[in-house]
């Protein structure tokens, strides 16, 4: 028997299932929800295209193109509009573009002269000599100074993890940055000399989505899987019986048992913990230790005439320091209709506004009118928008993004060691070593290859 059962129909589970089926394995995928994609969810309403989860991914993963080519959706890919290259960060209550080159760095008022001088000294800072896991905040403060942390890395961490850089691990969240110091002793030196060592064509760091949103990928994969994608189906138990796994599922109050010699669990960490608890209590306890933070998305549609400024960027992020100084509620805002075509009616603009995260873990306790008021207050202060939006949609995500807190890599290593002797059991998902859609596809592709070759 060469049968594989996959639990979880997010992008990781779907990608593994697709490639395994393509390689001739007998695959069945179980998904609790009635739709594929997990955290990826695209909806259309009143002419707006709303991303209820991730908005885009970086076009740096060959595995994404390989998958899209196989699925026949490569021509559905769209890139950000050419006039939206700016990335704005709030400082002193004003939008300031992140510099994109040496001249912009020298002339920007995002950092003071003192802050720039401190950053110039980065190549002369000694390597980290400690043995414990170092936080993003400690790493950046030590190497580049407090100001660079406050007005570059802190908002970047907000955009990726909606997290607190004082609690997140540099090694787990940004392994390339961590490796540059380890190998070259400096981020600047590593960026200069490391580039020369790279082989093969370099891919542009472009954001990418699809004409009909990111949901295009999971929808297309689920169609390719056909009746091997079982939706609305919960897994009640996974047992090891000899050389096989026995998986019990429930759909429409009917219980069914499936057997396979390989199982891939591609569910969120806390769900995975409940599934594998009978197999390994220790691995389950470490999985339960992986934190998730809540995020609320307040999607707003305004008349174009309500917007007083040129939307010449991706949007803006608010550093935590500015939140403390000025009482902002938003984490940031993506100018959705500016960066991608087809995101709003012709005479409207769409903003995807994020609120909550590690800065306000109680955000989901707020009622809808409160969330709307908090959002509109910040948009008025930052963008000078006086008019009310014509369209509002609120999406609540109780467990939006896994947090790679200090000790994360050690937790993952312990989980893997505990499950090492359970031949045929594999884990996948964005809680392991990368939260982006592209990274999940890349890792799932590698896992499918590993399973297909029997490693």
Q: Which residue has the tokens 């009143």?
A: 46
Burial profile 352-377: b = 16 or more Cβ within 10 angstroms, e = fewer: bbbbbbbbbeebeebeeeebbebbbe
Model pLDDT, residue 2: 83
Cα–Cα distances in Å, from 119 out to 105, 227, 307? 11, 56, 36
Domain harbouring 263, CATH code: 3.50.50.60
Q: Which residues pair with 10 in a beta bridge?
A: 37
In a domain, 226, yes or no: yes
In a domain, 190, yes or no: no
Model pLDDT, residue 1: 58
Q: Is residue 389 a contact partner of residue 373, using CB atoms and an 8 Å limit? A: no
In a domain, 71, yes or no: yes
This prediction has a pTM of 0.95
In a domain, 153, yes or no: no
Per-residue pLDDT of the chain (455 residues; tens, 9 = 90+): 589 999 999 999 999 999 999 999 999 999 999 999 999 999 999 999 999 999 999 999 999 999 999 999 999 999 999 888 899 999 999 999 999 888 899 999 999 999 999 999 999 999 998 899 999 999 999 999 999 999 999 999 999 999 999 999 999 999 999 999 999 999 988 887 776 565 555 667 789 999 999 999 999 999 999 999 999 999 999 999 888 999 999 999 999 999 999 999 999 999 999 999 999 999 999 999 999 999 999 999 999 999 999 999 999 999 999 999 999 999 999 999 999 999 999 999 999 999 999 999 999 999 999 999 999 999 999 999 999 999 999 999 999 999 999 999 999 999 999 999 899 999 999 999 999 999 999 999 999 999 998 86
In a domain, 249, yes or no: yes
Give every CB contact of residue 121 below 8 A, 6+ residues apart in sequence: none
Give every CB contact of residue 374 below 8 A, 6+ residues apart in sequence: 329, 330, 355, 366
State the total domains in the chain.
Answer: 1
Give every CB contact of residue 310 below 8 A, 6+ residues apart in sequence: none
In a domain, 29, yes or no: yes
Give every CB contact of residue 41 below 8 A, 6+ residues apart in sequence: 35, 51, 52, 53, 215
In a domain, 145, yes or no: no
Measured between alpha carbons, how far apart are the two ends of the chain, in Å? Answer: 16
Cα–Cα distances in Å, from 12 out to 80, 94, 335, 384, 450? 25, 39, 27, 41, 14
Tokens of 91: 């400082």
Q: Is residue 345 a contact partner of residue 47, using CB atoms and an 8 Å limit? A: yes
Helix (H, G, I), strand (E, B) or coil at 439: helix
Identify the CA nearest to 112 among candidates 61, 151, 157, 167: 151
Cα–Cα distances in Å, from 353 out to 41, 298, 302? 16, 5, 13
Identify the CA nearest to 105 among candidates 135, 148, 71: 148
Cα 380 from chain centre? 28
Indicate the burial class of 436 (C-beta count within 10 angstroms; 0-12, 13-18, 19 or more). middle
In a domain, 351, yes or no: no
Q: Are β-strands 425-427 and 262-265 bridged in parallel, bridged antiparallel, or unpaired?
A: parallel
Q: Residue 271 is part of which domain span?
A: 3-39+58-77+214-279+422-452
Indicate the burial class of 242 (C-beta count within 10 angstroms; 0-12, 13-18, 19 or more). exposed
Q: Are β-strands 348-356 and 42-45 bridged in parallel, bridged antiparallel, or unpaired?
A: unpaired
């Amino acid at each position: 028997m060469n049968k594989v059962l996959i639990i979880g129909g997010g992008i990781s589970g779907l990608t593994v299932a697709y490639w395994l089926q393509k390689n001739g394995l007998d695959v069945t995928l179980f998904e609790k929800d009635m739709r594929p994609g997990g955290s990826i969810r695209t909806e259309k309403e009143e002419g707006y295209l709303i991303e209820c989860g991730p908005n885009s991914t970086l076009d740096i993963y060959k595995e994404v193109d390989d998958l899209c080519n196989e699925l026949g959706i490569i021509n559905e890919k769209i890139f950000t509009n050419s006039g939206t290259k700016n990335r704005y960060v709030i400082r002193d209550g004003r939008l300031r573009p992140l510099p994109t080159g040496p001249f912009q760095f020298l002339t920007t008022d995002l950092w003071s002269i003192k802050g720039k001088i401190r950053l110039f000294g980065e190549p002369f800072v000694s390597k980290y000599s400690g043995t414990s896991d170092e936080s993003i905040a400690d790493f950046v403060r030590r190497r580049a100074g407090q100001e660079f942390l406050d007005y570059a890395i802190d908002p970047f961490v907000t955009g990726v993890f909606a997290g607190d850089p004082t609690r997140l691990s540099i090694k787990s969240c940004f392994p390339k940055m961590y490796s540059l110091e380890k190998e070259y002793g400096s981020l600047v030196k590593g960026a200069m000399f490391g580039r020369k060592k790279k082989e093969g064509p370099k891919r542009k760091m472009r954001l990418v989505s699809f004409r009909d949103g990111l949901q295009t990928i999971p929808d297309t994969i689920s169609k390719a899987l056909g009746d091997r994608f079982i939706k609305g189906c919960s897994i009640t138990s996974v047992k090891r019986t000899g050389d096989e796994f026995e998986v019990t599922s429930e759909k429409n109050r009917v219980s069914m048992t499936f057997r396979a010699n390989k199982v891939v669990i591609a569910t969120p960490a806390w769900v995975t913990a409940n599934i594998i608890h009978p197999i390994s209590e220790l691995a389950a306890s470490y999985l339960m230790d992986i934190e998730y933070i809540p995020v609320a998305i307040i999607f707003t549609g305004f008349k174009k005439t309500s917007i007083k400024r040129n939307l010449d960027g991706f949007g803006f992020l608010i550093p935590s320091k500015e939140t403390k100084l000025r009482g902002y509620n938003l984490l940031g805002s993506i100018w959705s209709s500016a960066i991608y075509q087809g995101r709003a009616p012709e005479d409207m603009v769409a903003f995807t506004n994020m609120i909550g995260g590690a800065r306000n873990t109680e955000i989901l306790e707020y009622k809808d009118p409160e969330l709307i008021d908090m959002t509109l207050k910040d948009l008025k202060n930052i963008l000078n928008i006086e008019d009310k939006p014509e369209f509002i949609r609120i999406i609540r995500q109780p467990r939006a993004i896994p947090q790679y807190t200090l000790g994360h890599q050690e937790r993952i290593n312990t989980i893997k060691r505990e499950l090492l002797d359970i031949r045929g059991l594999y884990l996948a998902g964005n809680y392991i070593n990368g939260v982006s859609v592209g990274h999940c596809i890349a890792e799932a592709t590698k896992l499918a290859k590993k399973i297909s070759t029997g490693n």
